[in-house]
Structure 1
Amino acid sequence: MTQDPKLRALSVFDDYLDLSGAAQARMRADLQQRDPELLAALLSLLAADGEASLLDIAPAELLAQVRSAEPAALETDDPRVGTRLGAWQIDGVIAEGGMGTVYAAHRADGQYEQRAALKCVRATLASPALLQAFVGERNHLARLEHPGIATLLDGGLDADGHPWFAMRYVDGVAVDAWCDRRNASVGERVDLLIQVCEALSYAHAQGIVHRDIKPSNVLVGADGRAHLVDFGISSHFGDAQAPGEHIAITPDYAAPEAREHGVHAPAADQYALGVLTYRLLCAQWPLPLHRLRNLIAVNISQPVPMDRLIDDDGAQALAHQRGARDAAALRRELAGDLSAIALKAVASLPQDRYASVSEFAQDLRRWREHRPLAIRPGSRWSRMRKWRRRNPVAALLGTTLALVVLAALGLSLWQQQRNAREIAATQTVSQLFASTLGAATLSGLGSAPFSSRALLEKTERELGKLPLHDQPGLRARSLATLARSYAVIGDYRSAERLAAQAQQALGSEEDRDNFVAATRIAMLNTQNHYAEAMHRARAEIARLSGDGQAARLSRVIFGSEIAKAQWSSGETLAALDTADKLVVSARELGSDHRELLAQVLILRAGFLIRLYRLRPAESDAREAIALARPINNVLADDALDLLTVISARRVSPLQRSLTQELLQRRRATLGRSHPLTARAEILRALSQYPSADSPREIEQALANIGAAYGREHPDYGWALSASSWAIARDPRDNIRLLREAVGILQRTRGARSEVTLGAQGNLGKDLIEMPDKFRGATDFDEGTALLERNIEAKRAIGVPAPAERTTLIRAMLLYGGQAQLDTAERLLSESAIDSRLYYAPDDAQPAQVAFFRNVLLFRRGQHAQADQGFARLIEAEFAAATGEHERRSRLHAQTLIKALTFRALYATQRCQREQALAYLAQASRVADAISASDAAMARILRDYRNALLSRSPLPASGPDRLVHTQVIEETNRLARSCGAAPRD
């Protein structure tokens, strides 16, 4: 070690005091092995510090003295090590805290490999307040899905009835240690703070405050990404706590209102972030007297700017550790804007801080980008200096421009004439595109509207006749737009030819917005060349210089292609992270780029939908509609298309009305024969499943897509998969059409593409649910195998598969033996997690999971327990089944009817015929209330009732196979066993 041990001891002194007794012992043992000099210097400081008066002792040190009775080292014989909790095998202890112990664990159920951090309540410390806080932490984590937060994976109760949960494992170190080991610069440290702000801002948006922001709760992984951990004392905004039930906060990072009054709000989290900012950037506390007297409810001091806290002792080493040349350079970097940001974050009064963590992050970003702060716009001269730092080349050119202004005046007339010619040419080309392709498509992120081959060829011929020899940029952009349109219909040879012509036409002219370069990359994505698309897009971004508007716009355009390539390559979370950054960048471009922002919101919403993060996806789609509707109806309807998909995933009552609105809008803007109109027609049909109002219109929609793109195009494959049930002659014909759709998608999109997996899921479902009349010997086995492969394939690319899991559960309950029932039980546990993560409480899926769980009990002979479960479900579903939305009412009513039928079956088994009849009558009233859409269910219920009254066999088929099979098997066996008179 070349640095003075005393200086190094000073840098770790406060952190040491913040540790528990056991953690301090571990740190001393570690230093004894690897750095005895540092240990000796640290012990010397501790001894000297012990001579101070009580009011000069830091709170952490005072607590450390109190904790001296704690065990000297972390227990290595923890009885939980080596045992299992749920699916997790505990490998060892990671850390111990005030609420519990965190263990390293791995998944040990043989399903798949995964590491986790598993947290348990320490049994010796269990109390009602601690257990409540622990369960609260688990509930809060269940609501959070963010790459910067260690999210919840699993949870349950141990053998003693104490709660535990598993979190995403973060292999990282505390943010301050990570920065100090790497001598991270001030800018790099600010970047990490921005990442923490993003995670915390997301938590605040979900109504959760962390309440314990400090270095040890911010871990940095090997990839340099910051992760927010330990929501142990988190809470909802404004949650009240009874006196004496507070879980200890970290006082050195706590806001005054949190220390004095127990207030926990976003402003308190922001204060802690501000303290963390001080610790990371200047290694000091905001208040120079950061001692026990700070706990007194009297404000005796105000925070000090960071640059003024850098004293001469150890300043050189501190500057080196932060990448600065010397102490003076570090002071200059911290002074001014950066100190102003930190000061506002740690203001004594909450109202004097930033309005939100997001605004705090925005000012940090502005500092990184050399832009004026929101809280400190500065003088005209200071803003100019910042502009020069952002745009050094432009500043130099501006100076040079002043020398040639007279010459520029001489050229102005020529320039005006040239601009006039460019405007006229642009109008001519726009009119051409409007008259042939149906819209002006010379701007935007990269999507071009569909056009038939005949119209594209006509447009190309007309474009060649236009006198654009003196407008190379416009000609190149027009050719690139045509190239994109040819790629849309799958004519990649023509697309490549036109893209090459666009590059040639451009010559030495500037590629405005990098549209031509982006076109070639977009076509690589269209042709499934994802790796090459990512490589080229990143190379284009690397060539961009400066931070001007044009460069930032191009980064968004190329970034969108990177996100698409990442998603299609199976890098789903990386693609979502890229999309998150694109949305931020697009917002910063300002109101002139609302259409671009709408496009990247649609891109991100598409990712979120496929990850079943439906609420943020809906938010993005609605914002995109609001942005695009005044300026681009086609783009706004693209976002409306996403809303219909979201409503279908949630089985929302709005699905049918949304699809009808989308179809009407598509017909108005694009016409009846357009393939996007055809897609809307198929989406409307899906909202009517399992009975289609107009099969002929669906067949015409499929034909329109085939005529537009050809039958070997992924859009045709999707359409065939989505509509086969409505146009097939019979169930076996439906299977034939589905196999054809899967083949198309495998050839054009690949076996791992999500759209291919979706079609395979449809095929597996329909094979399993094949009516007996058409069922083949291998249909069931093939269907279950397809769905199991789908679940594994989606898990491999990070995409949820709740639909496949639900279909498998149904199949196992209907046809399975004991082994299949065990599989159904495992799948039900996973579906319960799906319901919590992906659906709202009033969605149909949670009730469906509860229904299946009771059917499983019934199949295992636990009839009384199942009957109690059905009773609870019925009570909950009566409210939902009488809701204001017809679609929700019908789906919840079906669950209600099935549960009532099972209760009738159990009453029949107990020879309580009158009770069984009462349940069936109740079910019939519900079926009658939802009218024609469930006429078959109403009819079979009447058959059940008549069979009980006459003691005759039940009918051989019913509309719900899962219910009906149980009723036939059990009731026909038992209905005659109760004697001539019914017994209650």
Structure 2
Amino acid sequence: MAEPAPTLRELFEAALAIESPAERSRFLDAHCDAGTRARVERMVEFARDEAVPAPSVAAVAAVLAENAPGWALPPGTGVGPFTLGAAIGEGGSSIVFRATRLVDGVRQEVALKLLRRGLHSADSQRQYRRELQALSQLRHPGIARLIDGGVTESGAAYLALELVEGLPIIEFARAHRLDLRPRLALFLEVCRVVEAAHRALIVHRDLKPSNVLVDVEGRPRLLDFGVAKLLMSDDETHTRHAAFTPAYASPEQRSGEPITTATDVYALGVVLGELMTGERLGDGDPRTPSGSVVEGADAGVLPASAPATRRMLKGDLDNIVLKALQHDPADRYASAGRLADDVERLLEGRPVCAHPPSRWYRARKFVVRHKGGVATTVAFLLAVLAALGIAVWQADVARRQARAAREQAERADTIRAFLVGVFDQAEPDANRGQPIAAQQLLALGEQQLSAGAELQPATRLDLTALIARLYWDLGDYERAEALLKKAVTAAADPAIPGEVRARTLTTVAKTESEKRAFADALTHARAAIAIAREVGAAAYDSESEARRVVGEALHGQDDSKDAEPVLREALATDLAVYGDRHPSVVDDWTNLGSALIELSRFEEARTALRNALDLAHALHGPVHSRVAAILQLMSAVSGYTGDYAASEREQRESLEIYEKVYGPDHRETLTARGNLLWTIEHQGRYEEALPDRLRMLAALERMSRTQPDPFAYTYAAIGNDYFKLGRLTEAEQALRQALASWARFEGSNDEWDSADPLGILADVLRWEGRYAEAESTMRKAVEIERKHEPADSGWLNRDVAALGDIIRQQHRHDEALRLVESAAAARHDAKPDPIQCHILSRLAMARLDAGDAEAAYRIASESVATARAVFPPHHFNLGSPLFALASAALATNRAADAEPLLREALAVRSPPIPRDDLRVLEIEAALVRARDALGRNEEAGRLRAEIEPPLKANPSPYAAELLASMARARGAGH
């Protein structure tokens, strides 16, 4: 294929870059005909004329009159009160430049649109200014404001518009890979903006993606409202021409008929079609939007995979787009507002006006919109839906397998009869006019199950597992466990159909995983997978769920390294079977993100969780337990990477959802409240968190037999709060209570759940001066973590460095340095995070005590820089890096540098730590040494007198060392 001829712009820019006139002449001979050459030479001469600092408006108008779309006016050109900068866009009727002017001494930046032709007659100029005056009254936050405009003496017409930084709506959707709902929500905002302009009697006339920018805050901003009409202004020297973009123009625009608000509706329909399908549709296109979706589109073009996009468009969205694109304006939506209303109905699951009316359609929409709210209780509806799901699934299998069909049809009839019998108990006559609660309804179902001797074994098993799971979800763990034991026994019967056995074992395994019986969960989940694979496609849902339970159980027993490949396989398989828009895929992404958090791979975890959250929003809306669970995990990622403000925001959003879904006293709500307190604690607000932790204990203790983890975690958190507040005796008691709880639930303190309370307890013992106990306790924590964590794990190496620090305080400097250096080396490639700060500060102290003060100073400086990057100002965790750097500064004769560092460290540690705690006293003792070194002996003496009594009263060996260090400093100072 021949190369395309260079444009006028390309010829001009190439010629302008050639300094030698002879070479430039040869270039033009080779690439231009006579007419083009003359124009390029005039342009080059114009651009190189340094004697004219700002080209005249007349010259600009003359150049624009040639209608040369590639012409780039030099920066500095004056147009009215504005000075042109670089060109930022152009079309058939105008060129847009960045431009500036001074207003009351303030530099104002605008987008200046310069018409390619002038307005020379007085009438056309008056008409132009009237239109400008009308447009200047249009005010809306979604519309780029008209700032100024006019006609210069030479007839050049210009418009100065608000400069909007952003991406065209189609590019934005693709760049951010938006799902269906976010795209529709964005388009809905655009429609509302257009509706506001229509109410002001202004029609856009040229709506297209490049005129709909999405700014950095994700808000759509519309450009050029009413400008198309301005561009059509005529005078006696020019023929009238249409100012619109043909690909988005309505039939009446193309044929020169009157323009109405329906003209903008048509353009919005083209934009919506392109936003959904990647294709521009029009009234002459025979395809529906769903029929125009093609395979192999680039990433982000479609809101989902091609098959999933077709499914989502088919029906209501097809009808909405096609109604907006009707050839006759009378057949379109009457206004942009009506189009917006239909999009809003679609998002809310209500019937849309574009759909042909039918009773079945409206009934189906009602059921979809009100699911979860039409039954007496949530559990009541869950039972109905689950039972009907079983019946429908069984009926489908029945059509394919004759003998199984008879059995399953009988089972479905039996289940329906069973449910009717249960629901009859909820009638006012049966219940003496009293409302019946979900718990009562389930109890009635259980009674009827026990009395139903005629039930077939498979039906009895399905119902037993169903009622058990509903009891579990309602928090009645004792009844749930009793029924689950019966279900496990019954599921061993090979005479029961495989799909029923697989479904039952999956339900049992999921419940066991949630109550932390991970070994049992793995056994039953793997058995369910084996049975489901024998059955085939009819049992795939059970196989998919059981695979996730295997991953969850491995992750739960802290084998996250083994869980990751299982979870990735589950995700890949479910994507292949279900497509990328399915609740199972939400759970796959969520579980993978959770495992990656435990492996300290936070950026990968954030990506997985963002995928899960976007999909959960698209499938379930903003108020759903899946959304809340994902926000919990995202909050953990934010907290572990030091973004505590984001962590708290995500936790509060999650807690609000759980309270709406479950109520205030449900296990999930209490867990979410505990996680919010974790975020508050990690911001150093221990005094705020501790009372709420203590208040939660009673509610958590009631459920601790079957749900031990929140109870034990809360005791560990209480112990940490006491420790950070300097209440060491109470801290030790709470931490030992946490360890006792884990030992009771897990049989020992040798598993991963005990590692954190052991690590905190070791720190408590260390600051009490009980070094031998502290060392053995921390060694046990490290030993547990080595079993479950990869070598570069943040948690493992945090505690290895802490063990080194305990050994350093016992003056085993070489051993301490080896340990801390190994922790730093293991995390060498990690991104800066809070754990890295602690490891580096401990490495600095180990180097300092080993005699390498300059190396200690360099490492401590890095630790402080990292800490200031990941922690907000005045954060509690700045204390250790600051103290390490100040200690190294004192050892290298930088007392003047040390003193302000110590004062800052003291301010972040106390409060919350009380004055007589060694973590405060060590800073004040260093301050004494710094002031002695600076010759401020009187200040040093006063502070020494204040801290010597609590140091002498403290039995820790470290207190004696601090007293000795101050005595040496006093001797040196005198």
In the superposition, the TM-score normalised over structure 1's length comes to 0.54
Residue 702 (structure 1) aligns with? 739
Does 1:817 find its partner at 2:852?
A: yes
Q: Counterpart of 1:66?
A: 75
Q: 1:456 to 1:331 in 2, by over 3 A?
A: closer
Match of 2:702 in 1: 668
Report what 1:83 is aligned to: none
Q: Residue in 2 aligned with 1:693? A: 730
- Other-structure match for 1:503: 532
Q: Which residue does 1:792 correspond to in 2?
A: 828
Q: Is 1:543 aligned with 2:603? A: no
Bigger CA radius of gyration: 2
Question: Which letter maps to 2:753?
Answer: D
- Cα offset, 1:58, TM superposition: 11
Equivalent residues of 2:843, 2:859 under 8 A apart? yes
Instruction: Kindly provide the amino acid, as one letter, of the partner of residue 678 in structure 1.
Output: A
SS in 2 for 1:888: coil
Report the CA distance shift for 1:478/1:506 in structure 2 as closer, same or farther (over 3 A): farther
Equivalent residue letter for 2:353? S
1:634 Cα shift?
A: 1.6
The aligned runs of 1:521-560 (5 Å cut-off) are 521-523=551-553, 525=555, 527=559, 528-545=561-578, 552-560=582-590
Q: 1:926-937 counterparts in 2 under 5 A?
A: none
Alpha carbons 1:682, 1:723 under 8 Å: kept: no
From 412, 417, 421, give the equivalent of 2:418.
421
Query: Following TM superposition, by how much is the alpha carbon of 1:970 offset from its aligned partner in structure 2, in angstroms?
Result: 1.5
Letter in 1 for 2:671: D
How do 1:26-175 and structure 2 match up within 5 A?
A: 52-53=61-62, 64-66=73-75
- TM-superposed CA distance for 1:440, in Å, is 6.0
Which whole-Å deviations, capped at 9, do the CAs of 1:513-556 have from their partners, x for residues lacking one?
95334324434555432453244223333234478xxx532221
Over aligned residues, Cα RMSD in angstroms? 6.9
The answer to whether the aligner puts 1:805 opposite 2:840 as a matched pair is: yes
In the alignment, which of 371, 379, 399 is matched to residue 353 of structure 2? 379
For 1:826-880, what per-residue CA distance to the aligned partner results, in whole angstroms no more than 9, with x for missing partners?
424533xx324332x2423446655655554433323345446667x49x94xx8
- Output one character per residue of 1:909-930: Cα deviation in whole Å (capped at 9) or x when no partner: 5666544444456xx4xxxxxx
Q: Hey, what does 1:713 align to over in structure 2?
A: 751
Q: Distance in 2 between matches of 1:545 and 1:910?
A: 72
Distance in 2, Cα, partners of 1:787 & 1:638:
32
Aligned ranges for residues 1-40 of structure 1 at < 5 Å?
A: 5=5, 9=7
Return the offset for 1:192.
1.6
The alignment status of 1:637 with 2:670, answered yes or no, reads yes
| Cα contact 2:629–2:654 (8 A) shared by 1 | yes
C-alpha distance after superposition, 1:272-315 (max 9, x if no partner): 7656xx9xxxxxx995589999xxxxxxx999897129999xxx
What is the alpha-carbon distance in structure 2 between the residues aligned to residue 764 and residue 737 of structure 1? 13
Q: Secondary structure at the match of 1:778?
A: helix
* Structure 1 position 683 matched with structure 2 position 717: yes
Taking a change above 3 Å as real, the CA distance of residues 601 and 673 of structure 1, as seen in their structure-2 partners, is closer
1:425-450 residue CA offsets vs partner (Å, 9 max, x unmatched): 986689999xx99x9656999x9999
Q: Which residue of structure 2 aligns with residue 844 of structure 1?
A: 876
Question: Does 2:524 correspond to 1:481?
Answer: no
Judging changes above 3 Å, is the alpha-carbon distance between structure 1 residues 287 and 790 closer, same or farther for their aligned structure 2 residues?
farther
Q: Counterpart of 2:828 in structure 1: which amino acid?
A: E
Q: 1:862 to 1:340 in 2, by over 3 A?
A: farther
Does 2:910 correspond to 1:969?
no
**1:765 CA displacement:** 3.0
User: CA offset at residue 635 of structure 1?
Assistant: 1.5
CA offsets 1:92-140 (integer angstroms, 9 cap, x no match)? xxxx999xxxxxxxxxxxxxxxxxxxxxxxxxxxxx999xxxxxxxxxx
1-structure distance, mates of 2:753, 2:653: 26
- One of 786, 802, 807 as aligned partner of 1:746: 786
Structure 1 502/371 Cα, relative in aligned 2: closer, same or farther at 3 Å? Answer: farther
Distance 1:760 1:353, change over 3 A: farther
Distance 1:290 1:896, change over 3 A: farther
**2:632–2:650: 8 Å Cα contact kept in structure 1?**
yes
Indicate the percent of aligned positions where both proteins have the same amino acid.
Answer: 11
Aligned length: 693
672-681 or 630-639, larger mean C-alpha shift: 672-681
- Structure-2 change in CA distance of 1:845 and 1:939 (3 Å): same
Counterpart-to-counterpart distance in 2, 1:60 and 1:892: 78
Paired AA for residue 570 in structure 2: A
Q: Is the Cα contact below 8 Å between 2:883 and 2:923 reproduced in 1?
A: yes
Q: 1:541 to 1:846 in 2, by over 3 A?
A: same
- Aligned equivalent of 1:603, options 633, 645, 650: 633
Mapped to 2, the partners of 1:486 and 1:667 lie a distance apart of 14
Q: 1:61 to 1:759 in 2, by over 3 A?
A: same
Q: Could you tell me which residue of structure 2 aligns to residue 136 of structure 1? A: none
In structure 1, what is the Cα distance between the partners aligned to 2:811 and 2:925? 26
By how many angstroms is 1:579 displaced? 0.8
Matching of residue 307 in structure 1 with residue 336 in structure 2? no
| Secondary structure of the structure 2 residue equivalent to 1:751 | coil
Equivalent position SS for 2:545: helix
Counterpart secondary structure, 2:912 = helix
* Matched residue, 1:649: 682
Conservation of the 8 A alpha-carbon contact between 2:681 and 2:689:
yes
Superposition pairs of residues 98-497 of structure 1, within 5 angstroms: 190-192=173-175, 287-288=227-228, 307-308=248-249, 324=279, 372=346, 379-381=353-355, 417-421=414-418, 441=469, 460-461=488-489, 475-482=504-511, 484=513, 488-490=517-519, 494-497=523-526
* Kept after mapping to 1: 8 A contact 2:720/2:731: no
Instruction: Please list the CA deviations of residues 641-662 of structure 1 after superposition, one character each: whole Å capped at 9, or x if unmatched.
Output: 3234334433323343344244
- Distance apart, 1:742 and its partner CA: 1.9
Distance 2:891 2:783 in 1: 37
Q: CA deviation at 1:574?
A: 2.5
Q: Does the Cα contact within 8 Å between 1:848 and 1:895 map onto a contact in 2?
A: no
**Contact 1:594/1:627 (CA < 8 Å) preserved in 2?**
yes
One-letter amino acid matched to 2:821: A
TM-score (norm: length of structure 2)? 0.54
Report the more deviating stretch, 759-768 or 670-679. Answer: 670-679
Matched, 1:763 2:760: no
Q: Is the 8 A contact 2:914 2:920 kept in 1?
A: no
Structure 2 segments unaligned to the other structure (5+ residues): 19-23, 44-57, 79-84, 88-104, 108-164, 184-207, 234-241, 255-270, 293-317, 325-334, 369-391, 400-407, 423-440, 451-460
**How many Å apart are 1:764 and its aligned residue?**
2.8
State the SS of the aligned residue for 1:670. Answer: coil
Is the CA contact 2:502–2:532 (under 8 Å) kept in the aligned structure 1? no
CA distance in 1, matches of 2:759, 2:752: 10
Conservation of the 8 A alpha-carbon contact between 1:904 and 1:916? yes
Distance in 1 between residues matched to 2:66 and 2:960, nearest whole Å: 73
How far apart, CA to CA, are the structure 2 residues paired with 1:4 and 1:466? 73
Q: Per-residue deviation at 1:597?
A: 2.1
Give structure 1 stretches of 5+ with no counterpart: 24-28, 70-95, 99-127, 131-173, 180-185, 201-251, 259-265, 279-284, 294-300, 313-317, 342-351, 355-359, 395-400, 925-935, 944-954, 978-984
Residues 654-663 or 738-747, more deviating: 654-663
Post-superposition offset of 1:576: 0.4
Q: 1:571 to 1:869 in 2, by over 3 A?
A: closer
Distance 1:673 1:509 in 2: 30
Change (3 A) 1:829 1:452: farther
- Counterpart Cα distance in 2 of 1:956 and 1:593: 53
**What secondary structure does 1:716 align onto?**
helix
Q: Is the 8 A contact 1:651 1:843 kept in 2?
A: yes
Does structure 1 conserve the Cα–Cα contact (< 8 Å) formed by 2:898 and 2:930?
A: no
| CA displacement, residues 467-512 of structure 1 (integer Å, 9 cap, x when unaligned) | 9879667624433325636874445763455434763798735737
Counterpart for residue 732 of structure 1: 772
User: Secondary structure of 1:484's partner?
Assistant: helix
- Residue in structure 2 matched with residue 940 of structure 1 by the alignment: 951
